[in-house]
Structure 1
Amino acid sequence: MLLLIALAHVPWFLWNSELGSTLMHPAEGGTADRVAQAVTIVFVDGRAWTLFGLLFAYGIGQLYARRSAAGSTDAEIRRLLRTRHWWLLAFGLVHAVLLWQGDILGTYGLLGLLLVPLFLQRSDRVLKVWIGLLLGVAALVNIGLAVLGQLVPAGVGAMAPQQQAAAETGYLASALLRLVLWLPSPISSLVGLVMPAAFLIGILAARHRILDEPGRHLPLLRRTAVIGLALGWGLGSVQALLHLGVLSVPNPSAVVSFHLLTGIFAGVGVAALFGLIAHRVGTRRPLPVRALVALGRRSLSGYLAQSLIFVPLLSAWGLGLGAHLTSATAMLVGIGVWLLTVVVAYRLDVAGVRGPAEVLLRRLTYGGRRTT
């Protein structure tokens, strides 16, 4: 999961490149760069954040079940979740100002604050109806925008605001710009309807322990993986072909919103694939699996660690290396940073040390109360 997040974010730091038609990917590049762009567009862009949103909601369902089994009342658990989500929103704000305007913690905190009270205890039927409604409306809106966008000439040459944040040479000026860019993002994620739908899917899946007990849900997981990945990656391939110029429409940039919508299919499909892999691995714990589990237990720390490395290394106010990277070399940097977090997480796990961000969030959430 965190590898996908790293690959999604690192192209944002190519602040010396002219953007192409798709998100933050450069318009040009050599063969290796074009391959890197295509891989990221098909497998990562708009796919990683919906998957993360689904898994975040799944974790909420797990926490609720665990606390209920320990004897906590519904009101106590909801109060606990509310406190946790307020702190996640605060984490997101601090993260955005200090380092990374593309923060997603604030989005998930806001999702939890708004959707947990509305949907956590609703019936399966209600959740399914709302998932269908949200995705149906999102599909109509985004298809309409993509079609109407073909009537507008494609923009060229302008530096994207996200590039400006990375290109700013003064740290304080970059912090102000990051704040301005981040503030609307939690709300826009809600308005886009895809993230709320992914959140509700996560709540529904957690209720039936689909990823906790994959052996009981193998037919469902197989169907979901095949259909979700076929749709998500297949439609992502269309966007990649548009970006590379193999396919042509009057305004390829206008199709990006539809590309982000289709990410939910890939996100759900990858989650199902994770479940199938977990079932196949079973109780076996070879070193690579133990290392990944260690980072998974420290996912918040791992996510923030990416920003601690990426931003000073690649931004203009830091070492400014982003100006000298291409899509291919940026992908290698993303993979390298992720591998570093895997190694560090594994060493912490061996030493019995929890992730610092997880420890802080837990203390802020629970205060002096004992936890189970």
Structure 2
Amino acid sequence: MSATEGEADGGRHLSIDAVRGFAVLGILLMNIVAMGLPSFAYILPTFAGGAEGADLWTWAANNVLVDGKMRALFTFLFGASAVLIAERAAAGRGLSPAQTHYRRMLWLAVFGLLHAVLFWYGDILVTYAVAGLVIFPFRKLSPRIQIAIGAAVLLALLGKNLWQAAELEGLRSAALAPGASPELVAAWREASSFVAPPPGAASAELAGFGGGFLDTVQARLGLLRMFYTYFLPWDAVPEAIGQMFIGMALFRTGFFTLRWSRRAYAAAIAFGYLVCVPLNAWLAWGMWRSGFDPLVLHELQVWQQVTRPFIALAHAAVLLLVVQAGWARWLVERLAAAGRMAFSNYLMSSIITAAVFGGWGLGLFGELSRSQLLWVVAGVWAFILAWSAPWLAQFRYGPFEWAWRSLVQWKPQPLLRAGPRAAAPAE
């Protein structure tokens, strides 16, 4: 049976699952930096983890090809799933589409808060839960209108961030000018904490995450306060809303279900790789040339928001063509299994890395360079690709998918498979 013929077996789409599995693996390439190093290493290479040799090339490759792109792809798929699950709920006899969706978002927020406090402060689930509340009423709009709304939200976010970058540059110039008032200098110090680490930040995190489990929770809570106060409402949620709108449109036009022509997929790949990747690389070169000046870094990273969705789509288009052609079938099926259990694999990645880096585990927080962290990524990838398919051979859902579904339905769902292996049911 060809990949296309098997696309919707058991209500699943092999192509969607494979792209989702690819995205959940790719997200770890960036998350691992803030999981294993003091938080500002994520945005400032010179802060921790190394910025020369292999570490510099690791940063550059991630910056150009991965940073924000895998998250964008994962978010597109979340928007697509909102439409897909609503359609299936409408065709069923259980909860209504609205009941299903809003219960899913409620419990997703609960899982996300627990995940953020206990294992990974950079959790994306709460962001998705909040953005999911916004997009659901618009799921039936035409794809063109959904794309227009999504693009408008992302452009508004870009404008806001460019304005903030200009304000920061102006404030620095004024604060460093001769005769600057103490109030102006204090204002700059406070504002600069968003683009440059405050004194003692690294040592505080090293002490916190190097301690026992409760010490790591306390350290995580300190980072969460800033994350939830500033980044989540003003950056993470608006970006997720815009990308989810686009994801809904992409699903409805058949991008994720192999209904685009090969020429259309090739065009997405060409624009992403031949136009956007070189532009991203030029911006990354500008960051390096500035000596990673925090304000230059911040402004150029803002401009990289323009290329982010197109590089994400190029990555997806390559994999979709592979699925469509029936190539690398073993790898595609392993990715699809990982994608069917994306919720469990996302959470398991955090649990594993928390044990690797926390003082209550292997205690490697701050001990590995940026390039050395890739060995941890490889280990987690191997685990995900190794356990997902065998688990689904015995069980209908991943463990956390089962818990989520059971809570939404407010009764335990069947977990064990009965009889010969069948395609996994939809999330």
TM-score (norm 2): 0.75
C-alpha distance in structure 2 between counterparts of 1:42 and 1:366, whole Å: 42
Q: Is the partner of 2:323 in helix, strand or coil?
A: helix
- Would the aligned equivalents of 1:215 and 1:279 in 2 still touch at CA under 8 Å? no
The one-letter amino acid of 1:194's match is: E
Give 1:267 shift. 2.3
Alignment of 1:1-372 (within 5 A): 1-15=23-37, 19=41, 22=44, 26=48, 28-70=50-92, 76-117=96-137, 119-151=138-170, 152=172, 155=196, 158=199, 164=205, 167-182=209-224, 185=227, 188-189=231-232, 191-192=234-235, 193-212=238-257, 214-245=258-289, 251-255=295-299, 256-260=301-305, 262-281=307-326, 286-352=329-395, 354-368=397-411
Counterpart code for 1:138: L
- Contact 1:20-1:27 at 8 Å conserved across structures: no
Scaled by the length of structure 1, the TM-score of the pair is 0.85
Could you tell me whether the CA contact under 8 Å between 1:29 and 1:326 is conserved in 2? no
SS at structure 2 position matched to 1:321? coil
Whether the 8 Å contact between 1:53 and 1:195 is mirrored in structure 2 is yes
Q: Distance in 2 between matches of 1:162 and 1:199?
A: 38
Which whole-Å deviations, capped at 9, do the CAs of 1:122-181 have from their partners, x for residues lacking one?
233432331232122223223333444444378467455898286352432431342353
Secondary structure of 2:90's aligned partner? helix
Higher mean C-alpha displacement, 5-14 vs 51-60: 5-14
Q: Once the 2 structures are TM-superposed, how far is the Cα of residue 286 of structure 1 from its aligned partner? A: 2.9
Q: How many residues align?
A: 366
Q: Secondary structure of 2:316's partner?
A: helix
1:56 positional shift: 0.9
Q: CA deviation at 1:112?
A: 0.9
User: Percent sequence identity over matched residues?
Assistant: 23
- Verify the 8 A CA contact 2:210 2:365 in the aligned structure 1: no
| Distance in 2, Cα, partners of 1:348 & 1:325 | 32
AA aligned to 1:56 is: F
Tell me the SS of whatever aligns to 2:348: helix
- Rounded to whole Å, the distance in 2 between the matches of 1:28 and 1:265 is 29
* Structure 1 residues 31-80: Cα deviation after superposition (integer angstroms, max 9, x where no partner): 221111111111111222111111111111111222334467xx811111
Task: Please give the alpha-carbon distance, in whole angstroms, between the structure 2 residues aligned to 1:333 and 1:68.
Answer: 42
* Residues in 1 aligned to 2:243 and 2:40: alpha-carbon distance in whole angstroms: 32
Matching residue's letter, 1:60:
A
* TM-aligned CA deviation for residue 363 of structure 1: 0.7
The alpha-carbon distance between structure 1 residues 333 and 162, as it changes in their structure 2 partners (threshold 3 A), is farther
SS state of the match for residue 371, structure 2? Answer: helix
Q: What is the alpha-carbon root mean square deviation over aligned residues?
A: 3.2
1:20/1:28 contact within 8 Å kept: no
Unaligned runs of 5+ in 1: none
Larger gyration radius, structure 1 or structure 2? 2
User: 1:194, 1:264 within 8 Å by CA — same for their partners in 2?
Assistant: no
> How far apart, CA to CA, are the structure 2 residues paired with 1:369 and 1:317?
33
Q: Matches of 2:29 and 2:407 in 1, distance apart?
A: 30
The alpha-carbon distance between structure 1 residues 293 and 160, as it changes in their structure 2 partners (threshold 3 A), is: farther
